[in-house]
Each structure stands twice: as structure tokens, then as C-alpha cells.
Structure 1
Amino acid sequence: MPDTSTAHGPAPRTLALRPLTELLASMRFAIALLTVICIASVIGTVLKQHEPAVNYVNQFGPFWAELFLALKLNAVYSAWWFVLILAFLVLSTSLCITRHAPKYLADLRTYKENIREKSLQAFHHKASATLTGEPPQAAAQRIGQLLVSGGWKVRLQQRQTAAGDGWMVAAKAGAANKLGYIAAHSAIVLVCLGGLLDGDLMVRAQTWFGGKTPYAGGGLIADVKPEHRLSERNPTYRGNLVVAEGTQSSTAILSQSDGVLLQELPFAVELKKFIVEHYSTGMPKLFASEIVIHDRATGQATPARVEVNHPVNYKGVEIYQSSFDDGGSKVVLRARPLVPGTEPFDVQGVIGGSTQLTNMGSGEGATLEFTGLRVLNVENFSGTGASGSGADVRKVDLRESIESRLGAGNKTVTRRELRNVGPSITYKLRDAAGQAREFHNFMLPVDTGDGQPVYLLGVRDTPAEPFRYLRVPVDSEGGMDGFLRMRLALADPALRAQAVRRYAATAVDASRPELAEQLALSAERALALFAGALDDAGTPSDTRPRSGLQAISDFIEGNVPEPERARAADVLVRILNGALFELAQLTRERAGLAPLPQDAATQAFMTQAVLSLSDAQAYPAPLAFELRDFTQVQASVFQVARAPGKGVVYLGCALLIVGIFAMLYVRERRLWVWLAPGDSGTQATMALSTNRKTLDADREFVQLGSKLIGTTPPHGGT
């Protein structure tokens, strides 16, 4: 390399680079980088990473979603700016080590025995004494041996003075403090390098320079083109591998913000059996997979068992039990019409598949997508029912309140009542325009605490919303047929009129026909409002803007003076309940069933039925699909990772622990004792230097002074 210096000093280029080097190697620059990394890590923890773009739009809106995607906040740890900050942190820390490590290492080898005797008077810890009857050389030998026995490293130096030969005893201890600095800073470099190696950097590099592009389509894995596949020689990756029982797979999926990449593995994983064990409450306690690893190069089959927190390593690839999924379970659904014009029918499907429906009753077809089957559903039923009221404000027991929050870490002031409510099916109904709603229906009825079991029919418009459930009461035969018959009969004007006549005939004495006629008119209007056949003014409506109990409320507010609304509402609701009861009896008669008895069970059924009929008007589909039968096929979701930087990170963590311990708990001390001949004996001057001023250093100096030269330091030196 040519010499860039001149006779007058360093070259201008060297002078220009010096401020940049000083900046990169400064502590302020490193702290600023660490602050930005901490902020980015918080964002990456709070904001879900690698989600589809539509999820960010649904949650934050188009503007913020576009901003997050532009700043790569949806993939913080693989964003170019995050990788660049890590690279600058590695560079900054490396420069710090390069600049200071040689000085520290040189300092470890020196004893600084050449210090002048007058300089010892400038130390904070200093003391002087006269050693009678002991020449300087003997005193130096004695002091040196005492220090060595105490764990100090000692060097003796003989000097010529006007009064004779003097001796300097130079000792040092706690040199590991300087090594701690080097170890801690080296640990930061190693951890960052290991993170870069095990992160998304290698995969990103292949997309930037290797011609690889994420795949955003669908279909079979075998049909994906090579430009979306990564070689099995890829040095680092982390992806998911989904394997159904009885099948095997050798291609992992690496999620990217704009699609997926397929990672070829050097082996295939065959799932023999997926094992899940549960507690008595239904909560899972063990996930495990019995697998066979088939080596693609040799054909060797290696059985193994993968459990949560117990991965399997094969040829440098870790196989973790990440989750579980459906492996293509077969289901049988029963379509239950909620509007007239459609008969019940059965449909079969496979989870993950779909089927076309033409008999929806609404005049339009739809696609039924089978999205999920859950055999176990553990729900918390604490606080439901009559006993689930809040705290009694009339009684405040301070001791009980304190003890309820102390003790075991798993103690909670909220009572939990976990219960398995059985299987459920999740499906989507997608219309011709591509818009879909998601439905979640339970197979078995659920008692929510009020004594009336109900079938839960859930629906939501977007994945970001929680499910809203229609509660269908269980009839006396143990199904939902009674409610569905009432639902269809409510939409039939002829059946409503027949139910009104029966109600008027049974509620009014036959000797008062004029009263029976007035009651029939009121009941007919109440049923029509409830069914959505009348508008708020009480006139016939084809669009049915409102129905259910809300329509009754709107009618009363628009037609009854405010002082009389409470009494009118009570009368109208009684009439509505009576007419609906007769409608239920009429539907049972038409179905060939015995009439409902007038008991508490019937009253509970009718109370829930009125509420459910009111809510059912807002149910967005003409059909509800009931899970009738299923054959479960389970699948394991494995995380496969090749992490060559893991050992580097572990080494960095070990160095970080050692370095911090050394810097915090190891004190570097240097001790000098100058021994010179004097008129009345050997004149001893002692000084102590330490990197931290502590009470321990003061006490140690007092002990050393008394032990080595037989005196204590003057006031102010302790």
C-alpha cells in the first residue's frame, strides 16, 4: 500500500476520515443506535409481524397501513434499515474494541513500577511510615511476599538514590476488570453477528441478488415454479412445515410480507401420530408428534418424537413442535333454512376445501368454504348466570381483599370455571362478488348459566372482528327444530293470522266478541311488526327496515305519548308473547308433535325464543349449517430452522455475562510502596489506586497499611 503521509504530517484524506472514525467509535453514537434498536424492537413486539396486508388495512385503515408497509414495520427485524443499524452497531463496537483493547492488554502486562516517588503523594490513598531495624531490600522482600500471599501480582525494582539503594514494590490485582470490558463489547458484536446470520438477511439477499421472488398465489406446492424455491443448501432459514397424519412433507414455508418462499429440506418428515393430552378442564397440557425423518440423500428412516420445548436436530436443522392444525378432516353439515323457500339438506366436505351451493333460498348461489374444525372448545363460564353478579359494595373486607392478591403466582381474584363445550365448525359463505362472511357454529347445545341450553351460531364480517352469536334455544326434543319452525312460521302471513285467532279465542271470554276482535287486531299488528311486515307507522312494508323487539320499541315511541309508553309496552309485549306461544303450538301441531305444556321449562324456552327470533332478523345468511358428523384428521405444524449463528449468540451471551460480572464486581487495584534508606531507618511511602472509590477500598487500604508498613494513613486518606 503506498504511503499517503507527507513530510508535514498525515495526508488530508486521513485527516478527513478521523472525525468519522471518532464518531463511529464514540459511546454516544453506540447509545443512539441501541436506542433506535430498542424502539424498533418494541414496535416489532406490539405490531404483529408478517401479516397479510389486508389485515393491517382492516385494523389501522388504508393510510396507516400504507405507511407501515412503506416503513417495513410489518417486518421490522428483516427491514433494510434495521439490518443497517445492526451493521453500524457492529462497526461502532468493533472500532471501540480496536482502539481500546490494545491499550488494555498492554496495561495488563505492565506494573508501572517506574512511577516517581513524589507522584505517590498525589494519590487519594497514601500513607508514610518509618521502618526501624529493617533495611529497604529486606522490607521489599517481606512486603512482596505478603502481597503475593494475598493474591497480588508483584514486581520489585531497585533504584539508586543519594542515600543509597531504594526499592519500589509495584503490585496489581483485579486485572479481570479490563478483560470484562473487552468481553462485554465483544459479546455485543457476536450477538449482533449471530442475529444477522440467523435472521432474514440471507433469505433477503437471495431475493435481492439471486433472482428469487415471493409467491403470492395458491394451489399445490408441486406446481410452484423454481424462482419461488430456495435451495436445501441455504445456510440459514426459519419456516413452518405442515404435515398431516399418514403423510410426509419436505418443503417448508417461509412467510414474507408479500407472499411466501418455499424452502427445500434435505429430508422429509412423516407424521405417524399427533398426540395431545388435556387436563380435566379440557385445557391442553401436552403436544407431541411421533415422526419418521426420511433422508433424501441416503433414504435412511429415523424415528423421533417432537414435543413442545424438546426439538429434534437432524443434520443441523432443528425441528420444533410449533402448533397443530387440521389435516383434512371430513365433515357432514346439515343446512337449516332460516327463510322460507328452501328445504333442509346435507352437504359433505373436507376442511380446507369448498363446494358450490345453488339452493340458498335467496335466488343467488354461493361458495361454501370449510375453514376449520375444533373438537375441543374450552370456555370460561365464570361470572355467568344468576350467580355471576359483581362484588357486594355493602361489604368491604380489607384483609380478604389483600390476601386474595398475595400468595401463589397463579392466584387470581377472578374465579375461573373452564368447561369444554364440544366440537365446532368454522366455514365461510362467499358470494358471486367474492365477498365472504365467516361463521362459527357449535355442534352441541351450551348452557350459559340461565338454565336454558342454546345452540350458538356465530358470524363476523372480517377476521379482525369478534364473533357475534345467535342463541337458538333447545326445544323439548333436544334440537333446534322448534325454533326453526317458529322462525319460518313467523314469515308466513297465513300462519300468523291463524295464531292470532287462536290467541284471541283463548285469551278473551267468548261472550265478549268485540274485545276478542280488538285483541286480535293488536296481536296481528304486534306479530307483523315483530316479523318486519309493517314499518314504524304500522303500514305494510316490503323492505322491512326494522323487525324484532326493536320494531316494537320504535312503533311505541312513534305512536304512543311518552307518559303512556311504559304501560303500552307492557301490554304489547304480553300480547306478542301470547301470540308467539300460539304460533309455536301451531307449528308443533303441523309437525305431528304434542303441545307444549305450560310449565317452567316451556316458559324458559319461549323467553329465549322471543329474544332469538328478534336477533335472527339480523342474521346475514338464509341458511345456518349444523355440524352433524365428522372424521378428524390431525396435522402437526413444525418449525424447522437452520441457525448457524446460534452458537455465536450463545458464546456472545456467555461473554456478556462474564464481562458484566467482571466490570461490576471486580475492582482493579494498584499498590506502590517506595522504600528508601533514611537517618532513623527505612522510610516507607505507600499509595493505592483503584478504578472505583468505594468503602471497601478505604477499608482495604487501612488493612494493607497496618499489615505492610505498620501504620494507618493520615486523616483524609481513608
Structure 2
Amino acid sequence: MSVSVDSSFRSLSVTTLLLRFLGSMNFAITLLVAVAIASIIGTVLQQNQPYPDYILKFGPFWFEVFKSLDLFDVYSSVWFLVILGFLVISTTVCIYRNTPRVLKDIRDYKESAQLNALRRMSHHREWQSHFSREICLERISAVASAKGYRLIVKTEAKQSIVAAKKGSGSRLGYIFTHVAIVIICIGGLIDGNVPLKIAEMTDNIRVETRNIPASEVPLISTLPVDNLSFRGTVTIPEGQKANLVFIDFKDGYLVQRLPFLIAVEDFRIDYYKTGQPKSFASDLIIYDQALDVPLRKTISVNHPLEYNGYTIYQSSFGDGGSDLRIKLWPLKGAKRGDEIHAVVNTPVVLSLETGDMTLEILDFRPINVNPDITGVKQFKNIGPRFQYKLRTATGEATEFINYMMPVEKEGAKYYLTGLRHTPAEEFRYWYLPADSEDGVARFMRFLTLLGDEEKLKEIALSALPQQPDSLLPMVEDQELVAQFMVGLIKQFVDGGVGLIAAKVKAVVEPDKQSEISALYAKVLHHFLRNVYWVVLQEEGVDPTSDLNEFDERFYEDAVAAVSISHQYDVPVYLDLVGFDHKEATGLQVTRSPGKMLVFPGCLLLVVGVFCMFYLPQRRFWVIVSGPLENAQLFLAAQASRNPYEFEQEYSELENALLLQLDVEKTD
């Protein structure tokens, strides 16, 4: 037996064996399972995000694993496109091999079925009729037609066979579903941008990773206008125009040129009462040499613009280069700062006493909706804020978020400034108390005075005679005492209470550390209060009066803010005092000719599945034999699926024939 099998395989050509393998059910199911797994991965794992986002989310190890498997862009990965290609080939081979047989089965009534074969069917019955063979054939044909069957009659000398069938569409469903899979996969291959993958593998394109203007992007990182398929984004300020988009690709981007110009005439946002965005829309103008008149269209979310095979979606919004007026409050060095103008996304060099730094404003938002900490409202608009980086000459950058208006917390108002050194960190916020004019001027004067050693020494010398002996016994060398007090303030500013405690622990014997720490705390408190009084006197407050409730609360908050000021390790605080807001619209431009195949392919797939499951093929045969009078009848029937439903139909068919043929059961 094995010898005959081996010889039969050897007799087959390589082409035949290859077609048999490619068209096999096992191979097709394997490919479909692989596509299903890839689709699950593409659904669960967010696609086409910047690589740093994936590193933060998964860590360096798993990032490299997922990157090596192309899981960040599954639907355009080489392995997924190869699977789709083989699925197209496998399904096409299957169609090629089986379509002739399916079409033959649709046309075949199986009128040559043998009696013995029909007797083996589960549904069969034999009768004796009082009518002639001719009348029986007429009435059987009438019943079949009434039940929706098509039939043919094969007449022989001793018998006639009526072969009837309906539901041949179920066999067409087989062809429809397979053709639909081929069409959908071809559409996926087109939108998968196979030419781009080939260009990448042959080093004909190179990903750009630098943050440079589009005009400076080299040609090797620029895709031509006739690129078959892409999905890119571009941010266009109001009144500006662009003829390109940026495609996020691996760890960088590519520039895709467009054959037309997109101009943004106007951009607008509608807000809810809470300040959250309700809707946003853009008035666009398309300039193209093929157009006699520029095309004008307003787009919004879920209402894109279709033009010449391109689709332009409203995807986001952002800052379009707002002009910000910023007051610089030096935290180290100078006693007063200047006011500058800065534009979002345009670097500015700041000349500070501690050295030059580059200001990079990343974003500006005039409305910021956050959860209301008072609980009165669910959300609250806390006003404009801007996000920026301060970069040193060595390239090290610290990122900040500053708010223009103070926020209220526990009955007091504070200015928030957030800081982080890397994108992986959460912002750490520094609360600066707002003065009576809702500004930071009083706190900045207080902080500046705490950094002025000469002024502190004057305050200390003038305050020494007023110090109680229990707090700090008088000594002859008041210069030394004043120097000690100034040093205590410096330690407090440089490292907070923690630094003072560390100094005490390092130089004082353990049994006296508690006593000395308490003494230092009292001296520090009185000296800080004296400095604060100097700030108030500069504002015109009567030094002989007591502090009111607001000034007392401000002092406590200011001391708390100073105690952690060392964590805000930059030489300047940026205070937003005004702005000229300029909005920009975020557009997503796609070209996906494959969807013109995917949509009809999906429709054809639905039709095919419907035909296969809801149009089952059903057949019946009636053999009319015997003498010309009192004919002998044999009925047999079968269905391709839904046997329980067919039971009822067979019973109705049987009863109809009994009624029309006036028969007596013989078997």
C-alpha cells in the first residue's frame, strides 16, 4: 500500500503538489488564525505611537522585543503583509480548483440518482397511486413549483424520475465568501504600502529623527506625491497653508508631499459651561491646479473632506504660535527681572547672571479644565497655562508648566508651577502664595531678600537689640551673631529644614542636638519674620501694627514655599502676564485606495455568508414507475444543513403529494 502511495506522489508534478498545498484547508485556516492573532494585537496595542511613549509604557526590554516583531505597526509589518499575500494566493488557488465543481453542482439536478442510493436517505417513502404516470408527473411538478423548487423530468421506458432542487445560492455563497476574502486582502495589501516597505529594505528612504523644519528635511526622507497609500498629520495655524504631512515612522518621521495646498481660513472651538471642548471645526480652502475655483469646505470631527482620493480629517487642535508676554523673576543673582516676548515653538536665549539658557515654549492653552478641588463643581477652568523647557548650554533641559492665574485651595490662593527633569516623571508642583493683588511680586521680593546677604546682615544687626535674651543671649561680637543668623537663612534657602538638621547632627553632640535644633528653629522663625516685615514696610504697611489674617497666612505659606525652593533648581521663574492667542488646527490626511476594495469585499462577504447559512440547498426525487395506470411512487429528499427545519418542510412536501396524488402507502 505504501509503495502505491509513494508512486502516486512521484507521478504528480511539483506544480500540482504546490497547488494542492496552497489550496488546502489546513493551510488556509493557519493563515486565517495568524491574521486573527495579528488583528487582536493591533487592537489591544495602540498603533503608530512615538517610540518614547512605548519605552515609557513597556520599558526598554519589552520595547525592543515588540519593536523587533514590528508590533507597533502590525498592519504594515512585513510579516503581516506576507501572510496577507499567502492568504490571497491560497484562497485564489482554492477558487480556481473548486469553482468548476461548484458551478457544476449548481447546474446538476442529479436526475440519474439510483434507487438504492435514494433508499439510503433518511427521508424516503414509497406509494401506490390510482392515477396514471402522466397525471402523477403533472401533479408532482405543480407541487414542486408551489414549494419553490426547480425541477427536470427524466423519462425512460419503465419509469420517470422527477429531480427537484432549491437553494443553489448556498453554493454560490462559497464562491462569494472566497472571492470576498481575496478582495479584502488585496485592499489590505494596497493600504499596507508594500512599495514603502520595499523602499525601506533597499535603503531608498531614511527616517528623519531630527526636529527640523520641513524645508530642511532631506529628499531621502521625503515621499513623492504619487505615493500609493499613507496616513499623516499636520498642524496648520489660522491663516497659514501647507502642502505636506508628517508620517510617524518607527523612531522618527517621513515627509509626504501633497499634490494640492491646504489653507486654514478659520478655526473655532465650542466649549461646555465647564470649559471642556464641545466641538471644533476648521474652514479649509483647497488650492489645486486642476480646480477652476478653490474648493472651500468646513470640516469637523466625523465630518471629513473627501477630495481626489484623499481624505482630510479634523483630528486635533493646538497652538499656532501664540505671542506670550512673560516676566522673568530671577531666583538667583539679579534682584529684578525683565519682561520678554516669546512665541510658542520658537526658541529664545535668556541672558541670566548665572549663564545663558534657551527657553523653548512647547505649548500654550488659554483654557484648562481640571477637577475642582473644592468639590463645588465637577470640573473647573483654572485659566491659561504654558508649557516650556529651559535648556542649558550643555543641552540638559528641565520641563515646566506654569499657570497664569492663581488657584484657590483651603481658603488661600496659589500660583502653580510644575517641574520634571524627564518625560518619564510626573510633574512636581511648587505652590507660590498669591499676594493681595493676586500676583507673585511679594513672594519674589521676600525670596530675593533672603538671597541678599548684605541686606540680611543689616536686618540682623538692627534686630539683635530687639531679640529676647531667652532666644539669643547678647554677646559682644554682634557681627558674629549676625553672620550666624545670615548663615542660618542661607542653609534654610539652600536645603530647607532638612539641611539645618543635617548640619546640627554633624557638629553637635547627640545629647544636645534636640536643644540646639529647637534654638535654631526659634532663631530662624524670628529672623524670617523680621525679613518679612521689611517686605511689608516696602509696601507701606505700618511696622507698629500687628499682622492681619491675610498677611499672617501669606507669611506661613511663603516660608513653606521657600523651604522647598531648592527643589526648583533653575535660576528664574517665568510669570505669564499677557498673551496674543493664535490657534492651529490638527489635520489627518489619508490616502487609502484599498478601502475601495475592502468595503465591497465586506459586502460580498456578508452576502456570501448569508447565502451559505440562510439559503441551504434542498433536493427531492420522485420515481414514478410501474404500469401506465396505478403508478408506483418513490419519494426521497435531503438537505445540506438545518436538518430539524427540513423535517418540517419534508413533512409538508409529503402531505402535499399525498393530497394531490391520491396514494396509498405501500412501504
Structure 2 residue aligned with 1:101: 99
Structure 2 residue aligned with 1:627: 576
Structure 1 residue aligned with 2:664: none
Alignment deviations for residues 113-163 of structure 1 (CA, whole Å, 9 cap, x no partner): 2111221221122333333x22233222212212212222222222333xx
What is the alpha-carbon distance in structure 2 between the residues aligned to residue 682 and residue 504 of structure 1? 136
What is the alpha-carbon distance in structure 2 between the residues aligned to residue 9 and residue 516 of structure 1? 112
Match of 1:637 among 586, 595, 619: 586
Q: 1:459-470 counterparts in 2 under 5 A?
A: 459-470=419-430
Structure 2 residue aligned with 1:671: 620
Q: 1:26-37 counterparts in 2 under 5 A?
A: 26-37=24-35
What's the secondary structure of 1:620's corresponding residue?
coil
Alignment deviations for residues 660-689 of structure 1 (CA, whole Å, 9 cap, x no partner): 222333322222222323799433332221
Structure 1 residue aligned with 2:131: 134
Question: In 2 relative to 1, CA 674–274 (structure 1 residues): closer, same or farther, beyond 3 Å?
Answer: same
Determine if the alignment matches structure 1 residue 586 to structure 2 residue 534. yes
Determine if the alignment matches structure 1 residue 375 to structure 2 residue 331. no
Q: Which amino acid aligns with 2:206?
A: T
Match of 1:649 among 588, 591, 598: 598
Query: Normalization by structure 1: what TM-score?
Result: 0.80
Match of 1:357 among 350, 354, 357: 350
8 Å CA contact 2:496, 2:566 repeated in 1: yes
What is the alpha-carbon distance in structure 2 between the residues aligned to residue 594 and residue 129 of structure 1? 124
Question: In 2 relative to 1, CA 517–223 (structure 1 residues): closer, same or farther, beyond 3 Å?
Answer: same
What's the secondary structure of 1:255's corresponding residue?
strand
Structure 2 residue aligned with 1:426: 387
8 Å CA contact 2:492, 2:500 repeated in 1: no
8 Å CA contact 1:503, 1:578 repeated in 2: no
Question: In 2 relative to 1, CA 663–600 (structure 1 residues): closer, same or farther, beyond 3 Å?
Answer: farther
Structure 1 residue aligned with 2:172: 179
Structure 1 residue aligned with 2:38: 40
Structure 1 residue aligned with 2:297: 304
Deviation at 1:649, TM superposition (A): 0.8
Determine if the alignment matches structure 1 residue 488 to structure 2 residue 448. yes
% same residue = 32
Question: In 2 relative to 1, CA 560–97 (structure 1 residues): closer, same or farther, beyond 3 Å?
Answer: farther
Question: In 2 relative to 1, CA 671–11 (structure 1 residues): closer, same or farther, beyond 3 Å?
Answer: closer
Deviation at 1:191, TM superposition (A): 1.4
What's the secondary structure of 2:286's corresponding residue?
strand
What's the secondary structure of 1:269's corresponding residue?
strand
Match of 1:290 among 267, 283, 288: 283
What is the alpha-carbon distance in structure 2 between the residues aligned to residue 304 and residue 262 of structure 1? 25
What's the secondary structure of 1:211's corresponding residue?
coil
Q: Which amino acid aligns with 2:270?
A: E
8 Å CA contact 2:50, 2:248 repeated in 1: no
Match of 2:470 among 509, 514, 523: 514
What is the alpha-carbon distance in structure 2 between the residues aligned to residue 597 and residue 179 of structure 1? 96
Deviation at 1:205, TM superposition (A): 3.7
Determine if the alignment matches structure 1 residue 201 to structure 2 residue 194. yes
Deviation at 1:374, TM superposition (A): 1.0
Q: Which runs of 5+ in 2 are unaligned?
A: 1-5, 662-666
Q: Which amino acid aligns with 2:570?
A: A
Q: Which runs of 5+ in 1 are unaligned?
A: 1-7, 389-415, 535-543, 712-716
What is the alpha-carbon distance in structure 2 between the residues aligned to residue 464 and residue 633 of structure 1? 29
Count residues in correspondence: 650
Deviation at 1:457, TM superposition (A): 0.5
Determine if the alignment matches structure 1 residue 338 to structure 2 residue 327. no
Q: 1:223-622 counterparts in 2 under 5 A?
A: 223-297=216-290, 300-359=293-352, 361=353, 363-381=354-372, 384-385=373-374, 417-447=378-408, 449-492=409-452, 513-514=469-470, 517=473, 532=491, 546-548=495-497, 580-593=528-541, 598=547, 600-602=549-551, 604-622=553-571
Deviation at 1:60, TM superposition (A): 4.2
8 Å CA contact 2:471, 2:519 repeated in 1: no
What's the secondary structure of 1:532's corresponding residue?
helix
Q: Which amino acid aligns with 2:613?
A: L
What's the secondary structure of 1:185's corresponding residue?
helix
Q: Which amino acid aligns with 1:444?
A: M
Deviation at 1:336, TM superposition (A): 1.6
Structure 2 residue aligned with 1:682: 631
8 Å CA contact 1:371, 1:426 repeated in 2: yes
Question: In 2 relative to 1, CA 598–151 (structure 1 residues): closer, same or farther, beyond 3 Å?
Answer: farther
Moved more, 116-125 or 681-690: 681-690
What is the alpha-carbon distance in structure 2 between the residues aligned to residue 252 and residue 267 of structure 1? 12
What is the alpha-carbon distance in structure 2 between the residues aligned to residue 558 and residue 173 of structure 1? 103
Structure 2 residue aligned with 1:411: none
What is the alpha-carbon distance in structure 2 between the residues aligned to residue 119 and residue 201 of structure 1? 54
Deviation at 1:443, TM superposition (A): 1.0
What is the alpha-carbon distance in structure 2 between the residues aligned to residue 515 and residue 619 of structure 1? 32
Q: Which amino acid aligns with 1:103?
A: R
Question: In 2 relative to 1, CA 295–503 (structure 1 residues): closer, same or farther, beyond 3 Å?
Answer: same
8 Å CA contact 2:328, 2:338 repeated in 1: yes
Deviation at 1:218, TM superposition (A): 4.6
What is the alpha-carbon distance in structure 2 between the residues aligned to residue 345 and residue 58 of structure 1? 38
What's the secondary structure of 1:365's corresponding residue?
strand
Deviation at 1:597, TM superposition (A): 6.2
8 Å CA contact 1:530, 1:552 repeated in 2: no
8 Å CA contact 1:271, 1:290 repeated in 2: yes
Q: 1:76-87 counterparts in 2 under 5 A?
A: 76-87=74-85
Q: Which amino acid aligns with 2:237?
A: A
8 Å CA contact 1:203, 1:237 repeated in 2: no
What's the secondary structure of 2:36's corresponding residue?
helix
What is the alpha-carbon distance in structure 2 between the residues aligned to residue 296 and residue 469 of structure 1? 53
What is the alpha-carbon distance in structure 1 between the residues aligned to residue 142 and residue 598 of structure 2? 43
What is the alpha-carbon distance in structure 2 between the residues aligned to residue 94 and residue 605 of structure 1? 79
What's the secondary structure of 2:609's corresponding residue?
helix
Q: Which amino acid aligns with 1:115?
A: A
What's the secondary structure of 2:314's corresponding residue?
strand
8 Å CA contact 1:548, 1:613 repeated in 2: no
Q: Which amino acid aligns with 2:360?
A: E
8 Å CA contact 1:522, 1:575 repeated in 2: no
Deviation at 1:580, TM superposition (A): 4.4
What's the secondary structure of 1:90's corresponding residue?
helix
Structure 1 residue aligned with 2:3: none
Q: Which amino acid aligns with 1:346?
A: E
Query: Normalization by structure 2: what TM-score?
Result: 0.86
What is the alpha-carbon distance in structure 2 between the residues aligned to residue 304 and residue 374 of structure 1? 26
Deviation at 1:479, TM superposition (A): 0.8
Deviation at 1:274, TM superposition (A): 0.9
8 Å CA contact 2:245, 2:258 repeated in 1: yes
The RMSD of aligned alpha carbons is 3.9
Deviation at 1:183, TM superposition (A): 1.8
What's the secondary structure of 1:709's corresponding residue?
helix
Match of 2:654 among 705, 709, 714: 705
Deviation at 1:258, TM superposition (A): 4.7
Moved more, 589-598 or 284-293: 589-598
What is the alpha-carbon distance in structure 2 between the residues aligned to residue 343 and residue 307 of structure 1? 47
8 Å CA contact 1:288, 1:307 repeated in 2: yes
8 Å CA contact 2:457, 2:482 repeated in 1: no
